[in-house]
Structure 1
Amino acid sequence: MNHSEYLDVFIEESQEHLQAINDHLLQLENDQRNLSIVGEVFRSAHTLKGMAATMGYEDLAHLTHNMENVLDLLRNEKLDPSTEVIDIVFEAVDDLEEIVTDIAGGGEGKRDISNVTARLEAVQQGDGAPASEAAATAEVTSPSQRAGLQENYDQYELTVIQQSAEQGYHAYQVEISLDEQTMLKAARVFMVFEVLEQIGEVIKSNPPVEALENEDFEQHFLVTVLSKIDAAEIEQRIFKVSEISHVDIQVVEVEKYKQTQEPRVEEAPKTRSAGQSSETGKKSAGKKPSEGNKTIRVNIERLDVLMNLFEELVIDRGRLEQISSELKNSELNETVERMSRISGDLQEIILNMRMMPVDQVFNRFPRMVRSLSKDLGKQVKLDISGAETELDRTIIDEIGDPLVHLIRNSIDHGIESPEKRRQAGKVEEGTVLLKAYHSGNHVFIEIEDDGAGIHKEKVIQKALENKVATEEEIEKMSNQQIYSLLFSSGFSTAEQITDISGRGVGLDVVRNTFESLGGVVSVDSELGKGSRFSIQLPLTLSIIDVMLVEIGLEKYAVPLTSIVETAIVNKNDVYSAHSQKVIDFRGKVVPLVFLSETFEVPREETDDEFYSLVIINKGDKVAGLVVDSLIGQHDIVLKSLGNYLSNVFAISGATILGDGQVALIIDTNSLIK
């Protein structure tokens, strides 16, 4: 069997089920008496086991099966969900995640699971309590009765049974139980149905056919079949299907059901024989026609192709707008305007299709915080808000690791030990708040802890030691700017570096990652009260709003998200300070960056007495870009410069303008120091 076409779906669904198991286990730890949570974990584990067995990943299926046995004991209240038991289940989940990761990386999904399997089996044997009196009494009843399965027939079905009896058919209610070890329940059900349809007509099942196909049942199900063969032979044929543990066949007594049921208002069809299509019989199984699923899975590569095609359309749209404005033809103008509106709506739809909730990243953190706090002997609670906030998939893919680093920092070097918190008059349990929210065309992600905070004097001392800044520069800095020195390369105020993190170690990489996505990172802190890291990110990276500017004969694009405002200033208002030309703009000293010098653009000197400025910001820092002229605002498509031009200073990409010219996109973060 060729599984390659199903592999992507298997990996994606496995990851979803593992995440669901993680989430529900964390809930169970806080609400140990809630057995419905155990049921959710069991269902996810059971589905994962079936998928793994179908795909031939034996280690994955075997480990999930053992984990399922422990969950079954929890579900039936034969085992308490203690922290020790949940820890062992979490260990099993860790191994399952490793196996799925190996499969996703092209491996065979092999792993030594003997240790964790032995621990799961020990839990099963150690806590296997004898069956209670109630359970012993229940053995007298059939498995399906214990599972709460009972068959009822409506007026139409009873009419079918009666009319079939007139043609020599017997109506049997067949109760079937699958073996507890059965991995592919749906396959066994299918084989049973095949056997029954060879000898008669299946007219009803409980649970309904759809639930059986989706394995949404325990081990037992009921089937009503019309056949001319006697019950003993039917039982014999069913037992030829492997992994069947129990078969019980009863004749359906129509009169008994007629007495216990209200007649239906609508009139039943006048004729229906057992020889009619089995599909009709299945539809009569009390199911409403299922509505189609409102969502579909689409490979992200297809969305990338769609986005690339639309980007080409945006470029052509710009060209058409330019031609239209030059020709001044009213009909052409109207058509181009309509095309612009429609393509604008299309652009919004395509961008929304690529948006994903940050929950995709956030949902891995509760489990990580639990493990870290245990390792460090700390009590830490993670509060998450705004997980439904959406970001472009390309950004989502990149922000996971930097956020992991910041959260590790908060727990390792932010949150104090329970003893120190008690001495400081705080509650023993520290809190890390992870928050996401929209603001304009940006998404903000904040990580805040109520720990010890950052010691400003230590930061200054370390900055001077590492020659990150001079005393003169530090004197002019605000507190927030001093804390931002933590993002300098190799900077750390940690007294000792741990294998988990050192506040400052690697923070330069965190900042660089966010800035490469067009984001800005800032940090604020209050000693003894805690720290807050704030990340500002653009909603999308593909199609952006820019201000087009001209320098000499070249055009450049400045992203609108980094522009504070534009201005025209008199050259006489420019001063020199520390070998840097600056202006006093709205009571603030703003350094000037002459782009013609930065990018070495050939241009003729003019005796114009004014400078055209684009005021940009990066956090609380600002600068003024000096350009020759401002062209105006445009939607542009961000194109990569390719591998050969990946290190061009202060340029993040390029775009093709309506007239076919290439304009370079300025990375404003690189221009502010």
Structure 2
Amino acid sequence: MALDIRRFIQRFIEEAADHLPRLRKGINALEQGQADQELINELFRSAHTLKGSSRMLKLFPITALAHSTEELLSALRDGTQTTNAQVISLLNQATDGLADMINQLTQGAAPESLPEADAALCQALEQAASNRQPLPEGASEEVEPPLEISAPLTEAPARSTTRASSNATADLRLSDTVRVRLDRLDDVIRLMGEVLSGHHHLHSLVVQASELSATLPADKQAPFNAFNRELKDSVLAHDTLMSDLHDRALQMRMLPLNVVFDPLSQMARELAHSLGKHVDCRVRGSEIELDRQMIDRLSDPLIHLLRNALDHGIESPHERQAKGKPARGQLTLEAWQDGGWVIVEMHDDGAGICLEAVRQKALTKQLISEEALAALSEQETLDLIFLPGFSTKAMITDFSGRGVGMDVVKRTVVDELSGDIQLSSEPGDGARFTLRLPLSLAMMRVLLISVGGLTLGVTAPFVAELVKRSPETFIDAAGQTTLILRNEFVPVIALADLLELPTPQAQVPEVLLLVVHQRHQKLALMVDALVDERDMVIKPLPLHLRHLPLVSGMVSQGRNELISLLHVPALIERSRRSTQRTAYETTPSPQAHRILVVDDSLNTREIEKDVLEAWGYQVTLAENGRDGLSKALAEPFDAVLTDIEMPIMDGFALTARLRESELYSHKPIIIITSREKEADRRRGIEVGADAYIVKGSFDQNNLVDTLKALLG
């Protein structure tokens, strides 16, 4: 009786799931000029294996397309054909065609229902391969007939005189992997987390045993101490073993980013074609691995960023040529590892984001007032696109089954993935979205702190540092308690007050400050004590608690003790709402002086703005020297306040450039910096500054008095 080949379709699908990503990755490498021999050999082997395995299972459409692909790769391998745009395009089309047919099999299509291979594509592949040298006279191409299977594939194949028989049978081998249901794997990881937490509890038992030893009679202490030492040694010996075991369990759930990147690369070509645009999508770093949970949630945000780049960013071929650009746009999707983080970046060489268009859209949709908009820096203006309702443009395609906006992209990355997203743009040169993500949501470094009698957790990615300071070193900035931390003003607030917990009334000589951050914002939280710091298993909140905005998850400690993890972005937002800066009783002048504040720290800019506005000044903010120079030359200001240490253009250079302008040759310029050296003061005077204020001795009355004296 003939073998029922349908039993082996699943094995072929699993095998193809390994070879298709290799083909995509290899073709991308070829496109970037990495045409080394081993790379081409690997591509050839993948196409050859798909051809042989599909022939054995009578998947003839797949066999035909894989054979034509193999022909072209063979020509590349022999050196009779070279890599060029046409070859890359054909190989990409062939891989897409193979993936499409294999996807139909995955969805349950019968082998006989597969459509015929694209004859035009097969012909184009073989024509591209026809650059091979002519065969010697009298020689003929070796024909590979279809292979009939009449014995189980797990048995040794019968000897055959044909190359096709031996190669095809050898290529369809048993895989060295096993497939495990994801829910079962999640159960293993969950149980490993419980075991690890329980093991950590043994450390507290060791401490308790040591304390108990001191209470025993002298004649009992020696044997108990021996027992205690053995217990301690055993616990310590198992620490590394337990940690390694849990790490291995987590690694089982890690997947390479090509699971997300490869479909995006294919989607980019299809969507660009539908828009009448020509785009090369380059992928780098797709071998970087992330937890499966991260991979699943990352797809939708990246899809929306891709659509945004192709629809709004990259221009049509005609527009690009009119601007002196190549007709083909470039879209790059890359990833790299940075310590315990993975950076995923998508950037294009399109038109960039028009700041004026962003401002107009924000005003039209009443997302911000004109006064508030005028005070925003360039970066803050760009970030307006992340506001809910900024754009209501319908999605071009329905690739993911549902449309998402930029606000959902940000919420997914920040709230669900405990990451961060940054946007930069250069007019005419494109936009860049940078996502910073933890390797896994299952286990992270956690700081346990004590506040108001409770133990709470903060995940390490949001922690900038822990410092101790005397309350006497804090300054009052427009009613906001503020810490001067190196070159930055950081708002200070008691975490107990934010959480509405009881706070001790006693004064202490020093307070412990947990400085947390999100993007450009920092907040110093007063806490009672640091309890512990270690890698912990993160548990999602149960459904009935997921409405709590300040809690992102839970960790367990000891025996079934659950500790809430604070959600830092929500804490920062609550602190901004709860500490509405109180303006001093002042009477603004009918024609208030206009002040430009230039500093790369968002906290410092905002605090200086609040101080000045409390005294009746109109304030505009700039985030670096170049931004400040652009704004200063675009409209007149009565005075400029600038930091020194800033990217792109520092405060010394800004001051010197402003003094070159007739508009600012005599306007007051005040440097506010953490630099205390006399040489820096002298340089400030040399470039034209009227005053030099050190942040370490900052006093808002001194600043206001200085401004009043200079403005007259």
What's 2:483 paired with?
584
Aligned equivalents of 1:34, 1:563: Cα separation in 2? 44
Counterpart contact for 2:71–2:126, Cα < 8 Å: no
Q: For 1:5-44, list aligned pairs within 5 A.
A: 9-22=11-24, 44=46
What's 2:61 paired with?
63
- Deviation at 1:640? 1.8
Stretches of structure 1 that go unaligned for 5 or more consecutive residues are: 140-145, 148-177, 197-204, 217-289
Q: Residue 425 of structure 2: which of 512, 521, 525 is its match?
A: 525
Q: Residue 186 of structure 2: which of 298, 304, 308 is its match?
A: 304
Aligned equivalents of 1:633, 1:189: Cα separation in 2? 52
Q: Say if 2:457 is the partner of 1:557.
A: yes
Q: Residue 204 of structure 2: which of 322, 328, 346 is its match?
A: 322
Partner secondary structure for residue 145 of structure 2: coil
What's 1:163 paired with?
none
- Deviation at 1:414? 1.9
Residue by residue, what CA displacement relative to the aligned partner does 1:517-573 show, whole Å, maximum 9, x if unpaired? 111001011212222111111122222211111233321100111101123455673
Residue by residue, what CA displacement relative to the aligned partner does 1:3-23 show, whole Å, maximum 9, x if unpaired? 999676443322333334555
Q: Say if 2:99 is the partner of 1:97.
A: yes
Aligned equivalents of 2:19, 2:181: Cα separation in 1? 20
What's 2:523 paired with?
623
What's 2:678 paired with?
none
Partner secondary structure for residue 158 of structure 2: helix
- Deviation at 1:638? 0.8
- Deviation at 1:137? 3.1
- TM-score with structure 1 setting the length: 0.66
What's 1:668 paired with?
568
Counterpart contact for 2:198–2:558, Cα < 8 Å: yes
Residue by residue, what CA displacement relative to the aligned partner does 1:76-135 show, whole Å, maximum 9, x if unpaired? 989999989987886675465345445545666786736x65656887999999xx9968
Partner secondary structure for residue 421 of structure 1: helix
CA distance 1:465–1:384, change in 2 (3 Å): same
- Deviation at 1:650? 2.2
Aligned equivalents of 1:107, 1:646: Cα separation in 2? 40
CA distance 1:126–1:315, change in 2 (3 Å): closer
Partner secondary structure for residue 325 of structure 1: helix
- Deviation at 1:138? 3.1
Aligned equivalents of 2:94, 2:516: Cα separation in 1? 51
Aligned equivalents of 1:380, 1:639: Cα separation in 2? 42
- Give 2:379's aligned amino acid: Q
Aligned equivalents of 2:154, 2:467: Cα separation in 1? 75
What's 1:255 paired with?
none
- Give 2:206's aligned amino acid: S
Q: For 1:165-564, list aligned pairs within 5 A.
A: 180-182=145-147, 184=149, 193=158, 211=167, 213-215=169-171, 296-297=177-178, 299=180, 301=182, 303-328=185-210, 329-492=228-391, 498-499=396-397, 506-515=405-414, 516-564=416-464
Residue by residue, what CA displacement relative to the aligned partner does 1:465-490 show, whole Å, maximum 9, x if unpaired? 33333344444543223212212223
- TM-score with structure 2 setting the length: 0.63
- Give 1:138's aligned amino acid: A
Counterpart contact for 1:50–1:183, Cα < 8 Å: no
Residue by residue, what CA displacement relative to the aligned partner does 1:257-276 show, whole Å, maximum 9, x if unpaired? xxxxxxxxxxxxxxxxxxxx
CA distance 1:118–1:441, change in 2 (3 Å): closer
- Deviation at 1:42? 7.0
Residue by residue, what CA displacement relative to the aligned partner does 1:479-505 show, whole Å, maximum 9, x if unpaired? 2232122122232398x975599xx96
- Give 1:214's aligned amino acid: A
Aligned equivalents of 1:620, 1:320: Cα separation in 2? 40
CA distance 1:49–1:325, change in 2 (3 Å): same
Partner secondary structure for residue 193 of structure 1: coil
Once superposed, what is the RMSD of the aligned Cα atoms? Answer: 4.8
Aligned equivalents of 1:71, 1:511: Cα separation in 2? 41
Aligned equivalents of 2:454, 2:5: Cα separation in 1? 54
Partner secondary structure for residue 522 of structure 2: strand
Residue by residue, what CA displacement relative to the aligned partner does 1:158-213 show, whole Å, maximum 9, x if unpaired? xxxxxxxxxxxxxxxxxxxx86233659979979839x9xxxxxxxx886997563
Using the TM superposition, name which of 608-617 and 104-113 deviates more.
104-113
- Deviation at 1:52? 5.5
- Give 1:317's aligned amino acid: H
Aligned equivalents of 1:545, 1:86: Cα separation in 2? 44
Counterpart contact for 2:144–2:164, Cα < 8 Å: no
Aligned equivalents of 1:298, 1:478: Cα separation in 2? 51
Residue by residue, what CA displacement relative to the aligned partner does 1:576-613 show, whole Å, maximum 9, x if unpaired? 75xx8542332534345654455454x36533456543
- Deviation at 1:350? 3.9
What's 1:137 paired with?
138
Aligned equivalents of 1:568, 1:670: Cα separation in 2? 24
Counterpart contact for 2:256–2:286, Cα < 8 Å: yes
Residue by residue, what CA displacement relative to the aligned partner does 1:333-363 show, whole Å, maximum 9, x if unpaired? 3332222233234344444454443344333
Aligned equivalents of 2:470, 2:566: Cα separation in 1? 24
Identity %: 28
- Give 1:385's aligned amino acid: R
- Give 2:322's aligned amino acid: Q
Counterpart contact for 2:496–2:503, Cα < 8 Å: no
Aligned equivalents of 2:454, 2:163: Cα separation in 1? 71
Counterpart contact for 1:489–1:508, Cα < 8 Å: yes
Aligned equivalents of 1:346, 1:192: Cα separation in 2? 40
Counterpart contact for 1:316–1:658, Cα < 8 Å: yes
- Give 1:454's aligned amino acid: I
- Give 2:63's aligned amino acid: H
Q: Say how many residue pairs are matched.
A: 540
Aligned equivalents of 1:570, 1:498: Cα separation in 2? 57
Residue by residue, what CA displacement relative to the aligned partner does 1:34-54 show, whole Å, maximum 9, x if unpaired? 999998777645644665577
Q: For 1:125-164, list aligned pairs within 5 A.
A: 137-138=138-139, 147=142
Partner secondary structure for residue 137 of structure 1: coil
Counterpart contact for 2:284–2:333, Cα < 8 Å: yes
Rg larger in structure? 1
Counterpart contact for 2:256–2:289, Cα < 8 Å: yes
- Give 1:630's aligned amino acid: L
CA distance 1:490–1:94, change in 2 (3 Å): farther
Counterpart contact for 2:53–2:171, Cα < 8 Å: no
- Deviation at 1:393? 3.2
- Deviation at 1:450? 2.4
Q: For 1:564-603, list aligned pairs within 5 A.
A: 564-569=464-469, 573=474, 575=476, 581-586=480-485, 588-592=488-492, 594-596=494-496, 598-601=498-501, 603=502
Aligned equivalents of 1:38, 1:435: Cα separation in 2? 22
Aligned equivalents of 2:296, 2:73: Cα separation in 1? 37
Counterpart contact for 2:48–2:66, Cα < 8 Å: yes
Aligned equivalents of 1:90, 1:183: Cα separation in 2? 31
- Give 1:468's aligned amino acid: L
- Give 2:199's aligned amino acid: R
Using the TM superposition, name which of 66-75 and 22-31 deviates more.
22-31
